[in-house]
Amino acid sequence: MKSKRILLAVFIALFGYTNAQNYVVDNYLFSATKEGKPIKFGKQVKQVNVSAYDIKYLNSEGEPKRKYIYELNKAGNTTYTVHYNRKNILKRKSYLTYLNDTLLTNQVSLNKKGDTVSLSYYSFNNGKMVSSLSKYGKRTFEYLYAYNDKGNRTSYLYNRNGALSVKILYDYDSVSGKLAKQSTYNKKYKLVSVVNYECNYQGEVRKDVNQSKVCMRTDALTGGGFVVYHDYTNPKGKLRRSVATYSNDSNLMQVKVYDTKNKLVSDAGYIYDTNGNCVEYTYNKNNKRWQSIYSYNDKLLLSDYYTKKEGKVINKVIYNYSFFR
């Protein structure tokens, strides 16, 4: 259980703070690598002055599963959210406050009775988050971040109920400025794992520390576009690889993942329209196939999408928008 908590904290440290908006309406799904474009799902809400939107989730029979409502400020950030269940009964609502409409400073969530469920506070320096504190009843979760003069994160601390749970330090190459090493410490300040990002790294073998390696390299394709290889060598020295293929205009087209025996585990494919928006996503794993189809309205905002599994529709999601005058 402790190791799972550490892994969760490491995950948060790697991916950091995310915007309160739904990822699809925010219109970008993170790219597999920094070399390519993020996957685009229509225009961003702030580009077309959206004041509010709702998301309805339907099951395979077209019956409601749940519903979310979001209200936005003029910077396109969520200020109020409501969650309803399949019977259209309010489950939870949240209020969010920003500095200059852009930097989230606090968030409060209430249950259907109006009782406070959670409180969160955020602080920034030079536009970067340096701390966040969340309270759930008697439990508290605190995240602290530090950066160097180039804006790269140098440390991350996760405190639970006032005590250190995980500490992560980041080292960068002095020449390229790229991330070179990530070291994770437990609540006793003991080094428990190291991830090296230098492809040719030949480190000291330590039995008391889990050591792994991440290597990324890019090859140009003859007909245009490029391929990015992402190799992960686990603490046991076994290699896992993902291969991402990009088009001439840097759109992600395909991702294949291989296990430690170089056997294909999964593959995903993306199709785009003339506006560069993703209109189809397919995913294959364990001899099963999933497919999502995306549609857009006349303002190039995502209007709906549905997902199929083995050719059968399993859900549908519908978006409705309101606009500032």
Model confidence pLDDT, tens digit, residues 150-192: 999 999 999 999 999 999 999 999 888 889 999 999 999 999 9
Eight-state DSSP code of residue 11: H
Distance CA 197, CA 253 (A): 25
What string of DSSP letters covers 72-138?
Answer: E-TTS-EEEEEEEETTS-EEEEEEEEEETTTEEEEEEEEETTS-EEEEEEEEEETTEEEEEEEEETT
Residue 205 has pLDDT above 70, yes or no: no
- CB 228: neighbour CB atoms within 10 A? 21
- Of the pLDDT bands very low, low, confident and very high (cuts 50, 70, 90), residue 20 is very low
Confidence of residue 255 (pLDDT cuts 50, 70, 90): very high
pLDDT of amino acid 13: 43
pLDDT above 80: residue 206: no
Grade residue 201 by pLDDT with cuts at 50, 70 and 90. low
Amino acid of residue 249: D
**What is residue 152's predicted lDDT score, i.e. its pLDDT?**
93
At 249, is the secondary structure helix, strand, or coil?
coil
The lowest-confidence range among 23-32, 216-225, 309-318 is 23-32
Name which of 8-12, 98-102, 223-227, 316-320 the model is least confident about. Answer: 8-12
**Confidence bin at 209 (pLDDT 50/70/90):** confident
Q: Is the pLDDT of residue 9 over 80?
A: no
Cα atoms in the Cβ-side hemisphere of radius 13 Å centred on 16? 14
**Strand 191-196 relative to strand 210-220: parallel, antiparallel, unpaired?**
parallel
Q: Using alpha carbons only, give the angle 268, 274, 278 rounded to the nearest 5 degrees.
A: 30
Q: How far is CA 262 from the centre of its chain?
A: 27
For tokens 């088009």, the residue is 247
Q: What is the largest CA-CA distance in the chain?
A: 63
For the chain, which residues make up each domain, given as ranges?
2-323
Higher pLDDT, 209 or 51: 51
pLDDT at 325: 86
Distance from C-alpha of 265 to C-alpha of 255, rounded to nearest angstrom: 11
